Structure 1
Amino acid sequence: MTTSRERLEAVGNQIPPLIALIVLWMLLWGEFSWLNLLVGLVVGIVVTVAFYLVPVQLSGRVHPLQTVVFFVRLIVDIVRASVDVSWLAVKPRLVTSNAILEIRLRTRSDLILTWTAVATSIVPGSIVVDIDRESSILYLHVLNMQSASDIEQFRRRVLDTERRIVRGFGSHEDVERMRGVLPANRLSARRSGKELS
């Protein structure tokens, strides 16, 4: 039996999709009017009730500085990857070696898993082809993987993206799970330091 608090949380979890549907409805009509808003609200309620989805648990936590870091780095990654893919397209004697990679994420949040998949897919050169939700594994098709070091570097980039998302939006449990996990550049610096010593 559900308590009143659980029912209230369930209703609260349906509000973000409802608002998104209303905004989408308004964008589809291309103009703001009170009638469009009212019809969008009715359509949104019908859709959220008729096609009820398992509620996504929002963390309720947003760290503004880390959010800015995530978006700035995402834009940099998109620009850099766009240049790399463009060069592959015009490069003479193109010899590519593509790969399907399995990348196990460290968090168990559906929201973080989805955001990581989307953030990885919008960067040119890779696309998510499958997701194992139970194990938090992304399967990605990636362009131009020439060596094991390329594969490891790409894997670290995806895990760094996940880390930045967690630091910006993740729950306290997700942040604790990520503690002690070094970003790729510091990890490689430590490895090279151990090799030198």
Structure 2
Amino acid sequence: MMGPESRRGMLRDILMQLPFLLWLVLLWMLLWHQFTPLAVVTGLVVAVFVTRVFRLPTVELVGRVNLWYTLVFVVLFLGSVVAGAVSVTIQVFDFRRQPGAAIIAIPLRYADDIVTTHVAITASLIPGSLVVESDRDRRILYLHVIGVHNRADVDAFREGVLRWERRIVRAVGSPAQYRALKADQAKAARGEVSR
């Protein structure tokens, strides 16, 4: 028999997972192109099954959002999407040379699961690159990139992704990540080598 504390804990878990369950039900209905009561019921059954059988690790949300850095991130991101689309278009229609492609490993410096996900989505949404793998334990993203012809291009692309990581940490990173970023920036300003 469940005690009152156990029931409250279960109710809290259900309420916490409710948005995710609703999202899975919506995806189920979109997948089958059916918006019927039967699709809702079967989607709910599948969503409950998926969340109970394939449990994901708990991710702690810090709730820190810096509005200024978030606005800067959004503006720079939109500009990069446009610039990336133009760059890819030029490469596709330049018949004189092949665009060049590479798989680039990018070791992230400040990332936890949330920041890694943000960096991966950001890098994939900018035309010209796509995440092909993420090594969660070592915090390394592997991206397929077009428009790479030499080592300097690889290094420039890697530094660009690390810049996005820093922007994301400034906007929504945890206080500890933000402090680590500030400490590394202070070291760089003094001419010391960061990690």
Please say if residues 121 and 128 of structure 1, whose CA atoms lie closer than 8 Å, have aligned partners that are also in contact: yes
Judged with a 3 Å threshold, the aligned counterparts in structure 2 of structure 1 residues 153 and 56 are, in CA distance, closer, same or farther, namely: same
- Give the drift of 1:80: 0.3
- List 4+ stretches of structure 1 deviating above 3 A: 3-16, 22-47
**Bigger mean CA offset, 135-144 vs 42-51:** 42-51
Task: State how far apart, in whole Å, the 2-side matches of 1:181 and 1:6 are.
Answer: 41
Task: State how far apart, in whole Å, the 2-side matches of 1:146 and 1:122 are.
Answer: 22
RMSD over aligned Cα, in angstroms? Answer: 3.4
- Give the drift of 1:109: 0.7
**Corresponding letter in the other structure for 1:88:** Q
**Corresponding letter in the other structure for 1:105:** L
1:165 aligned to which of 163, 168, 182: 168
SS of aligned partner of 1:96: coil
- Give the drift of 1:35: 9.8
**Corresponding letter in the other structure for 1:60:** G
2:57 aligned to which of 54, 57, 60: 54
**Corresponding letter in the other structure for 2:165:** E
**Corresponding letter in the other structure for 1:130:** E
**What per-residue deviation string (whole Å, max 9, x for no partner) do you get for residues 110-152 of structure 1?**
1111111111011111111211111100111111212332222
- Give the drift of 1:87: 0.3
- Give the drift of 1:155: 1.0
Is residue 128 from structure 1 mapped to residue 161 from structure 2 by the alignment? no
2:23 aligned to which of 13, 20, 23: 20
Task: State how far apart, in whole Å, the 2-side matches of 1:61 and 1:38 are.
Answer: 36
- Scaled by the length of structure 2, the TM-score of the pair is 0.74
2:156 aligned to which of 129, 153, 162: 153
Unaligned ranges ≥5, structure 1: 183-189, 192-197
SS of aligned partner of 1:107: coil
Partner of 1:115: 118
**Bigger mean CA offset, 72-81 vs 58-67:** 58-67
Judged with a 3 Å threshold, the aligned counterparts in structure 2 of structure 1 residues 96 and 29 are, in CA distance, closer, same or farther, namely: closer
Partner of 2:98: 95
SS of aligned partner of 2:20: helix
**Bigger mean CA offset, 143-152 vs 124-133:** 143-152
Partner of 1:142: 145
Judged with a 3 Å threshold, the aligned counterparts in structure 2 of structure 1 residues 110 and 6 are, in CA distance, closer, same or farther, namely: farther
**Corresponding letter in the other structure for 1:171:** S
Is residue 79 from structure 1 mapped to residue 82 from structure 2 by the alignment? yes
Please say if residues 104 and 137 of structure 1, whose CA atoms lie closer than 8 Å, have aligned partners that are also in contact: yes
Please say if residues 81 and 126 of structure 2, whose CA atoms lie closer than 8 Å, have aligned partners that are also in contact: yes
- Give the drift of 1:90: 0.8
- Give the drift of 1:54: 1.6
Judged with a 3 Å threshold, the aligned counterparts in structure 2 of structure 1 residues 131 and 31 are, in CA distance, closer, same or farther, namely: closer
1:65 aligned to which of 63, 68, 76: 68
Partner of 2:181: 178
Please say if residues 14 and 55 of structure 1, whose CA atoms lie closer than 8 Å, have aligned partners that are also in contact: no
**What per-residue deviation string (whole Å, max 9, x for no partner) do you get for residues 13-63 of structure 1?**
535523433554676798999998888666644542343222222222222
